[in-house]
Amino acid sequence: MDNSIQGWVNLYKPKNITSFFALKKIKKKFNIHKLGHAGTLDPLAEGILPIALGKTTKLIPFVSNRSKKYIFTIKWGEQSSTDDKEGKITNKSNIIPDENSINNAIKKFKGIKKQIPPLASATKVNGHRAYSLLRNKKNFILQAKEVFLKEIKLINCFTNKTATFEIECGKGYYVRSLARDLANSLNTFGHIIDLKRTKVGFFDNKSSILLDDLLKIRQTDFEFNCIHSSMSVLDDILAYEIEEEEDITNLSFGKSIKINKSLLIKPSLNSEDKNIVFLSQKGKVISFGKLDGDLFKPIKILI
């Protein structure tokens, strides 16, 4: 495949494989030398996994920082070592919360809160991943991190000791930690038995493609039907369309260029970073940087 190709694939990752394994399969099938993903999904989780192709990998932080939506099911009365069904059961309780108690409790988790990651997580402790320390039976303590939960609602409260929820959260939020902490607030234990990510920024189920379906298509179909432009997922940002070839040349050498600020495409109120400006050409991001008056100073070049 052409190494200059850029853009995004809205992948729907299945259960029981790592995010890295999904990338490896795509890389091998379509002979892509450089690709990455925005927001890792646990092996037991399924759902939206945005894949960046080529130099679009430089835009991953801008997608990873956006809000995410999940639907998940908690099993009450049991705590596991990993806060999901993959771990060993470490505590049990006969207390199963009712719908009214759950609805009252979830209100307290909204907003900016401190959250301790699961022991089986990629959080680093003295340079080592927590999941590796847990696997090697090392003793360690994880520090609480500030996270943001925008919305949470109870979808179903079943009689088989489970409840299903939908949330919208910010970067770095651990759904497994929420399950653990919510159960503790209800004087019981709980762990995740099912987890689906339904949205990452502008990526959602509507335009996603299953990994198995993606791996069955031809390369030409992949390029024309599966790749979203690098600009398409950043449509609430401050942007500027480049037309002059001289500007393209100067940018390719990392030089600053002058722009007409009156032609800036105005962002919506949801723009993540008002100071960052993206330069585009025919729907493709070619650089992002900051403005000093009418002078654009590139931070990253994608050409």
Residue 61's nearest CA partner among 201, 198, 168, 266 is 201
Q: Which residue is it, tokens 């809160």?
A: 113
Measured CA angle at 236 (ends 233, 242), to 5 deg:
80
Query: How far apart are the C-alpha atoms of 303 and 290, rounded to whole Å?
Result: 17
Residue 204's nearest CA partner among 168, 164, 238, 179 is 168
Query: How far apart are the C-alpha atoms of 28 and 36, rounded to whole Å?
Result: 13
Known catalytic membership, residue 42: yes
Q: Hey, what amino acid is at 92? A: K
Indicate the burial class of 153 (C-beta count within 10 angstroms; 0-12, 13-18, 19 or more): exposed
Active-site hit among 2, 42, 84, 292? 42
How many other CB atoms are found less than 10 A from the CB of residue 149? 18
- Catalytic residue numbers? 42
